C-alpha cells in the first residue's frame, strides 16, 4: 500500500474539481483524511454521503484548522476572499493551493495573504467536464491530464514539491509556468472557445423569432460545438472577469478573423473560403 504523504487535506469547494481531487488522492492512498468545506450545505452533505470527503466542516475556520494542505476549488472570483477568511486559522506549515482556471490575479491576490510559515502554490488542472457539484466528482478525472503549477520567485520549494507530488498521485502530468503565460495560453485555447459557444447559442436562439423552438432542430455540429455552453455560469463569469486582459486580446483577434470571413461570404469569394477552411482543417487535424 502507498504510504500516506499527508494526514489531513481540506477541500474548500467540494464540486467537480475539489471533489475529484479528493477522490483521486483517496484512491491513490496518499491522504488519510479529507475534510470538506462548502457554501452549499446540501452539496456538502451529498459529498459526505457519496464518500467524496470523510468529514464535513461546519465552517471554514473549523475546516482548515487541522489541515496540512488546503485545496481551494471555488469560482476564481472567490478564491482570494476564501483565502483571506481562512488565513487566521491556517496552522503553521500548512500549504494552500488552488485549482482555479485563472492564475495571474489569483496568485497576485493570494500570495500576500499567507500568514508567517504558510505557503501558497497556484495550480490549474487541465481537466474538467461541463458538470458541477460533488455528484460530478470522480477519481479518474485527472488521469493522464496536465496540471499547471504557477510558482513565483518567492514560492517555497518544499511546498511546490508537495503539491507536485499530490497532482502526480492524482494521475496528472505536472508542468510549471509563469502565471501570465498560463493566462495567455488558456485565454486562447479555453476561455475564448467558451465565450464563442455562449455567444453562438444566443445568436442562434435569437434568430428564431416567430418560429418553433429552433434549438430543437440542432444536430451534431451545433451540439458538439456548444457542449461547453452548458458549463457553470458563475464559474465562467469569474473567468471572463479575472482574465479580462488576455481574453480581450483573443476576442479582438477572433473578431478580426470573423469579420474577414463575413466579408468573403458576402462577396461570394469561393477560393478564399476554401483556402481558409483548408488551413483551419490542417491546423485542427494536427492536434494530437
Ligand atoms: N469545471 C472545469 O472544467 C474546471 C477545470 C479546471 C479548473 N476549474 C476551476 O475549478 C474551480 C471549481 O470549479 P468546479 O467545476 O469544481 O465548480 P463546481 O461548481 O463543481 O464546484 C464549486 C463548489 O464551490 C462551492 N463554493 C462556491 N463559493 C464558495 C465559497 N466562497 N466557499 C466555499 N465553497 C464555495 C460551490 O457551492 C460548489 O460546490 C473554479 O475556480 C474553476 O475555474 C474548473
Query: What is the mean pLDDT of the segment spanning 72-93?
Result: 97
Rounded distance between C-alpha atoms, residue 249 and residue 255, angstroms: 10
Q: Is residue 1 part of a domain?
A: no
Digit-coded pLDDT (tens) for 125-181: 999 888 999 999 999 999 999 999 999 999 999 999 999 999 999 999 999 999 999
Q: Is the distance from the beta carbon of residue 19 to the nearest atom of ligand 1 less than 6 Å?
A: no
Q: Is residue 265 part of a domain?
A: yes
Q: Is the distance from the beta carbon of residue 137 to the nearest atom of ligand 1 less than 6 Å?
A: no
- Is residue 256 domain-shared with residue 151, that is, in the same domain? no
Query: How would you classify the pairing of strands 31-37 and 173-176?
Result: unpaired
**How far is the centre of ligand 1, averaged over its atoms, from the C-alpha of 262 (Å)?**
37
- Specify the 3-state DSSP secondary structure of 259: helix
- Is residue 11 domain-shared with residue 154, that is, in the same domain? yes
Q: Is the distance from the beta carbon of residue 44 to the nearest atom of ligand 1 less than 6 Å?
A: no
Burial-class residue 239 by CB neighbours within 10 Å (0-12, 13-18, 19+).
buried
Q: Is the distance from the beta carbon of residue 17 to the nearest atom of ligand 1 less than 6 Å?
A: yes
Question: Which pLDDT score, from 0 to 100, does residue 21 have?
Answer: 98
- Is residue 162 domain-shared with residue 62, that is, in the same domain? yes
Rounded distance between C-alpha atoms, residue 285 and residue 92, angstroms: 50
For residue 89, give the CATH number of its domain.
3.40.50.720
Rounded distance between C-alpha atoms, residue 160 and residue 234, angstroms: 29
- Is residue 109 domain-shared with residue 199, that is, in the same domain? no
Of 286 and 130, the one with more pLDDT: 286
CA proximity to 193, closest of 133, 240, 147, 259: 240
Rounded distance between C-alpha atoms, residue 209 and residue 70, angstroms: 49
- Is residue 60 domain-shared with residue 154, that is, in the same domain? yes
**How far is the centre of ligand 1, averaged over its atoms, from the C-alpha of 49 (Å)?**
19
- Is residue 29 domain-shared with residue 151, that is, in the same domain? yes
Q: Do residues 131 and 168 touch, judged by C-beta distance below 8 A?
A: no
Q: Is residue 34 part of a domain?
A: yes
- Is residue 219 domain-shared with residue 189, that is, in the same domain? yes
Question: Which pLDDT score, from 0 to 100, does residue 218 have?
Answer: 79
Closest residue by CA, ligand 1 atom 42 = 100
- Is residue 169 domain-shared with residue 194, that is, in the same domain? no
**Number of domains into which the chain is organized:** 2
- Indicate whether 1 pLDDT > 50: no
**What percentage of the chain reaches a pLDDT higher than 90?**
90
Q: Is residue 53 part of a domain?
A: yes
- Which atom in ligand 1 lies closest to the alpha carbon of residue 13? 24
Average pLDDT, the chain: 95
Last residue of a domain, one of 177, 206, 241: 177
- Indicate whether 245 pLDDT > 90: yes
- Is residue 134 domain-shared with residue 217, that is, in the same domain? no
Question: Which pLDDT score, from 0 to 100, does residue 212 have?
Answer: 66
Burial-class residue 165 by CB neighbours within 10 Å (0-12, 13-18, 19+).
middle
Q: What is the DSSP letter of 174?
A: E
- Is residue 192 domain-shared with residue 141, that is, in the same domain? no
Rounded distance between C-alpha atoms, residue 288 and residue 285, angstroms: 8
**How far is the centre of ligand 1, averaged over its atoms, from the C-alpha of 217 (Å)?**
32
CA proximity to 30, closest of 51, 57, 9: 9
Q: Do residues 152 and 111 touch, judged by C-beta distance below 8 A?
A: yes
- 284 CB contacts (<8 Å, ≥6 apart)? none
For residue 242, give the CATH number of its domain.
1.10.3660.10
Last residue of a domain, one of 122, 147, 177: 177
Q: Is residue 102 part of a domain?
A: yes
- Is residue 24 domain-shared with residue 164, that is, in the same domain? yes
Query: What is the mean pLDDT of the segment spanning 255-262?
Result: 98
Q: Is the distance from the beta carbon of residue 16 to the nearest atom of ligand 1 less than 6 Å?
A: yes
Q: Is residue 239 part of a domain?
A: yes
- Is residue 44 domain-shared with residue 149, that is, in the same domain? yes
Last residue of a domain, one of 177, 195, 213: 177
Q: Is the distance from the beta carbon of residue 80 to the nearest atom of ligand 1 less than 6 Å?
A: no
Domain with 36, as residue range(s), is 6-177
113: left (phi over 0), alpha (psi -120 to 50) or beta: alpha
CA proximity to 180, closest of 246, 259, 88, 258: 246
Q: Is residue 151 part of a domain?
A: yes
Digit-coded pLDDT (tens) for 193-226: 999 999 999 999 888 776 667 777 778 889 999 9
- Indicate whether 92 pLDDT > 50: yes
Amino acid at each position: 500500500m502507498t504510504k500516506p504523504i499527508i494526514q489531513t487535506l481540506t477541500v474548500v469547494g467540494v464540486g467537480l474539481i475539489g471533489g475529484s481531487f479528493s477522490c483521486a488522492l483517496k484512491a491513490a492512498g496518499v491522504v488519510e483524511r479529507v475534510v470538506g468545506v462548502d457554501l452549499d450545505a446540501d452539496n456538502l452533505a451529498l459529498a459526505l454521503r457519496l464518500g467524496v470527503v470523510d468529514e464535513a466542516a461546519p465552517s471554514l475556520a473549523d475546516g482548515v484548522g487541522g489541515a496540512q494542505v488546503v485545496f481551494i476549488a471555488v469560482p476564481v472570483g472567490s478564491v482570494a476572499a476564501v483565502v483571506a477568511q481562512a488565513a487566521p486559522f491556517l496552522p503553521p506549515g500548512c500549504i494552500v493551493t488552488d485549482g482555479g482556471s485563472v492564475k495571474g490575479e489569483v496568485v497576485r491576490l493570494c500570495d500576500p495573504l499567507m500568514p508567517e510559515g504558510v505557503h501558497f502554490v497556484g495550480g490549474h488542472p487541465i481537466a474538467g467536464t461541463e458538470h458541477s457539484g460533488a455528484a460530478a466528482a470522480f477519481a479518474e478525472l485527472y488521469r493522464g491530464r496536465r496540471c499547471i503549477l504557477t510558482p513565483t520567485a518567492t514560492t517555497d520549494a518544499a511546498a511546490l514539491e508537495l503539491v507536485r507530488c499530490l497532482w502526480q498521485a492524482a494521475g496528472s502530468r505536472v508542468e510549471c509556468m509563469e502565471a501570465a503565460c498560463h493566462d495567455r495560453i488558456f485565454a486562447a485555447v479555453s476561455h475564448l472557445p467558451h465565450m464563442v459557444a455562449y455567444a453562438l447559442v444566443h445568436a442562434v436562439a435569437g434568430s428564431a423569432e416567430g418560429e418553433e423552438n429552433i434549438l430543437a432542430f440542432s444536430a451534431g455540429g451545433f451540439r458538439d460545438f456548444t457542449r461547453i455552453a452548458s458549463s457553470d455560469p458563475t464559474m465562467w463569469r469569474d473567468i471572463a472577469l479575472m482574465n479580462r486582459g488576455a481574453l480581450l486580446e483573443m476576442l479582438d483577434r477572433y473578431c478580426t478573423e470573423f469579420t474577414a470571413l463575413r466579408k468573403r461570404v458576402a462577396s461570394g469569394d469561393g477560393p478564399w473560403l476554401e483556402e481558409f477552411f483548408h488551413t483551419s482543417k490542417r491546423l485542427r487535424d494536427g492536434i494530437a
